[in-house]
Chain A
């Protein structure tokens, strides 16, 4: 189920941060986990608690996230977790390559090894670490400063506007998608029961996709007219909002950079941070 994002000003530490700090910190954590391919729980668990802390001090009300969080839990636990548990895919090849005791078999003899079980737990924690940093952004970052933030991070006017508009359109199209889905359901469209093979299922998605896409092309023309009337693109633009880093921003930026450099140094310099199954977990099943 898609949601419409709701920004609301709150007097919290997170909202007092410069938006660039939040974007750069998120990028540092994601790159720290993905570029040196960190799969070691000794790195992931502390980062998970940092993300969880930042999420909790965002003070986002339950009513705001009551639709997105269950969706995310289902996605991460049942789709990603089960995929990891059954196939061991979606991560390093060492998950399935290292010899690991088989705990039990499911379905048609698919072996569930200790390695696959640990990988599923690691993958779930890793994804939540990244997701918890993203979820608060639409609720706690003023949509008016998206463009300014990207501009001040060095992007051109046009790229900054593209990013700004993309962020602004996202909840709008999510809402349009929901309205279209409800309208089609009222006409007898069975969203939850798409029958047939792959081709038939894709064809049946057309009544959901086409109206939203076509409406967006019409909206685009109106936005272009409005921007042309304001002479967009003729000269470099000035930006109304001014952004300044405070000491708290430097602290978080420093932490983010330290996390990224630390992960790279440990992985590439000392060979620590790759996937392995800890002994205490293996001993639980032997």
Chain B
């Protein structure tokens, strides 16, 4: 988790950070039209699985950039505007998920898939907790609304998406990587 390659920020991280952000933005925009029940402006986003996958595959910096920039792009394209705390929360979500990179050796091994999903779920909790709690200061909501109205639905929705789609993405990635030879 603390080895050099995990925290390296080179060409690979720049490119995959940008790709992850663009994909997250496009998929978020496409799925912003399915709001979670009782979640205010929090929306149901299968794109979260893409963010968790990019974090797990390419590391915490990629997760942070993809989450922060991608959420900003997706919100801007959808007309939501710019909510720095939700963008940063999404960045944290990708960053924590990216800590799984050092622990993953084989993308189609069951144990490694569970690790990626586990770190992804931890990232979702950290990121959404940050965003929901900061909403108390930016949105003037109370703690109960932050936890029940924002945090819980967002975590449940994102967790379901992650548990279902991240294993599929990892297995598909393993096949692509083996064909590509790197």
Asked if residues A34 and B138 are in contact (CB atoms below 8 Å), the reply is yes
Number of A residues, CB within 8 Å of B: 64
Q: Output the nearest chain B residue to A211 by Cβ-Cβ distance.
A: B172
Which chain B residues border A165 with CB–CB below 8 Å?
14-15, 18-19, 22
Please pick, from B73, B83, B172, the residue contacting A170 in the complex, using a CB distance under 8 A.
B73
CB nearest neighbor in A for B25: A170
The minimal Cβ–Cβ distance linking B17 to chain A, given in whole angstroms, is 5
Mark each residue of chain B from 19 to 33: 1 if its CB lies under 8 Å from any CB of chain A, else 0: 101110111011011
With A and B bound together, what is the CA distance between A218 and B67 in angstroms? Answer: 20
A1-20 interface mask toward B, CB cutoff 8 Å, 1 = contact, 0 = none?
A: 01000000000000000000
Taking a contact as CB atoms under 8 Å apart, the answer to whether B19 and A127 are in contact is: no
- A252 touches B (CB below 8 Å): no
User: With a CB–CB cut-off of 8 A, which chain A residues contact B18?
Assistant: 161-166, 168-169
CB distance from A224 to the nearest CB of B (A): 5
For B140, the chain A residues whose CB sits under 8 A away are: 37, 92-93
CA distance A232 to B138 in the complex (A): 39
Interface centre among B11, B12, B46, B142 (most CB of A within 10 A): B11
Check A173–B22 contact: CB distance below 8 A.
yes
Are B46 and A219 in contact (CB-based, < 8 A)? no
Taking a contact as CB atoms under 8 Å apart, the answer to whether A170 and B82 are in contact is: no
> Which of A102-110, A197-205, A240-248, A278-286 contacts the other chain?
A197-205
* A18 → B minimal CB distance (Å): 19
From A174, which residue of chain B is reached at the shortest CB distance?
B26
In the assembled complex, which residues on chain B have CB atoms less than 8 Å from the CB atom of A259?
A: none
Max chain B C-beta neighbours (<10 A), residue from A79, A205, A209, A210: A209
Closest chain B CB from A267 CB (angstroms): 11
Counting CB contacts under 8 A, is B105 at the interface?
Answer: no
**Which B residues lie at the A interface, using CB under 8 A?**
9-19, 21-23, 25-27, 29-30, 32-33, 35, 38-41, 46, 49-50, 53, 57, 65, 69-70, 73, 76-83, 138-142, 145, 149, 160-161, 164-165, 168-169, 172-173, 176, 180, 182
A-B contact pairs, 22 of them (CB 8 A): A30-B81, A34-B83, A37-B140, A75-B33, A76-B79, A89-B38, A90-B41, A93-B140, A127-B80, A134-B79, A158-B9, A158-B14, A165-B14, A166-B17, A166-B25, A168-B22, A169-B21, A169-B22, A173-B19, A210-B168, A216-B19, A233-B14
12 further A-B pairs in the complex, CB-CB below 8 A; given A162-B17, A169-B22, A209-B49: A74-B33, A75-B79, A79-B33, A89-B39, A92-B139, A166-B22, A167-B22, A169-B18, A209-B169, A214-B172, A224-B11, A233-B14
